[in-house]
Amino acid sequence: MAIVKSSIEINGAIDDVYALAKNVEAFPEFMPDLKSVKVVEASNGGARTITEWVGIVKEFKTTLKWTEEDIWDDQAKTCKFTLVKGDYSKYAGLWTFTGLGATTKFDSEIEVEYDVPLVGALIKGLIAKKMKENVDNMLSAIKREVERK
């Protein structure tokens, strides 16, 4: 199991960064490693969503599919997510948005496990490294998108 942490400072107001992050269905438009993201259920005014994700793993010429429950806290500016079903054995995490005046700090922490039968520790290490790259790329893509607007 790997715990992947990443953080980025974005030149944008916290409300703008949080709103873009909450609009997960738009992610594939500016994140090439995502094929699709779809909100399949929303309740409590969007505070709780069930989302289906399809990620692209170019190195393995495959896709990863998973469904997660997202709990958005508009007051605290956080999103806690947990795996409902999918290709991961474990997938859970927390996004935290902190306003720093004209900028926003976006912290992501994800606990991930991907069990592949008959695959050794080397490949599992590669998967953890790839997850870290994907999280860094996602934060950078959100930064670019917010700062572009």
Domains and CATH numbers, the chain: 2-148 (3.30.530.20)
Biggest CA-to-CA distance, the chain: 50
Which pLDDT does position 122 carry in this prediction?
Answer: 58
Report pTM.
Answer: 0.88
pLDDT tens digits for 40-57? 999 998 899 999 999 887
The sign of the torsion formed by the CA atoms of 25, 88, 85, 72 equals: negative
Q: Which of 18, 8, 6, 9 has the alpha carbon at shortest distance from 109? A: 6
CA-to-CA distance for 45 and 49, rounded, in angstroms?
A: 9
pLDDT tens digits for 115-143? 765 555 656 677 778 788 888 999 999 99
The residue-averaged pLDDT of 70-98 equals 96
Which pLDDT does position 117 carry in this prediction?
Answer: 59
Q: Which two tokens stand for residue 41?
A: 């259920």
Work out the mean pLDDT of the chain and round it to a whole number: 90
Backbone angles phi, psi at 29, to 5 degrees: -65, -30
Q: Are 18 and 11 in contact (CB under 8 A)?
A: no
